[in-house]
Amino acid sequence: MKLLYTFVIGCLIHVNAQAFEPFANISIGQVSPDDLDATVSGFGAAAVPGTFELDGKESIKLEIGLKDDSGLSVGIQTAYNQMDIEDVSILGNPIGLALASLGAWNPAVPFNVAGEVYTIPVLAFVGKEFAVSDLITLDLGFAAGYTTVEARPDGDLANVFGQGNGNSWELQAKLGLDYQLSEKYSIGLDYSYSWLTGPEFGQATGEDLGHHFFGASIGLNF
């Protein structure tokens, strides 16, 4: 991570040594998360494997940075990503059956799985634009930093897993296609894949979590 920030600072020096302009991009779209595998305690004498099935919801992303004449850009990115907890399994069985086997749940009663997971990253990024035509550019980039992960179980799930906040490292690869409307404004399509170190909440210690982002963007050059 120190190497990344050293690289970003070096890029900033490079950008400031040339003609540059500040810019901002806002992207609105949806995340598509992978399932979260976790080690879960409270289901017997030892911790056991479990899986949280996640479904993507709305996401908004903001980037602010500097860009030079060559298309090299550096800056800071933050976002607000929402994911639903759709289902939970313990040792390959639905959580209601797992609890029933311990005498902690009536198997005749449906177990209500509900809740949400939120991530709020603060990342440093480096990007490069490649001209496709006079008005269209392809953007490639890489970002890394720290992410706050918040889990809010609801329904019957809230009786098993408490709410939790944690921090994870995040690495991100991103791809964009922009159309220049004018000297100041652009619109585009935005895709990224993020990898997060395992979040923790309640009795669950997650493994690495990945999610895709698909969105539309609006750019402003100052």
pLDDT in tens, 203-215: 788 889 999 999 9
Q: For residues 39 and 157, is the Cβ–Cβ distance under 8 A? A: no
Domain assignments of the chain as residue spans, ordered by start: 2-221
CATH class of 2-221: mainly beta
Residue keyed to tokens 């939120």? 118
Q: What percent of the chain has pLDDT over 90?
A: 59
Cα 143 to the center of its chain, rounded Å: 11
Among the listed ranges 3-7, 17-21, 213-217, which one has the minimum average pLDDT value? 3-7
Q: For residues 213 and 31, is the Cβ–Cβ distance under 8 A? A: yes
Dist. CA 188–CA 208, nearest whole Å: 30
pLDDT (0 to 100) of residue 158: 87
**What is the per-residue pLDDT across 64-76, written as a single tens digit (0 to 9) for each?**
999 998 899 999 9
Give strand ranges (E) for the chain: 20-33, 36-40, 48-68, 72-90, 93-94, 113-131, 136-155, 164-180, 185-196, 200-201, 204-206, 209-221
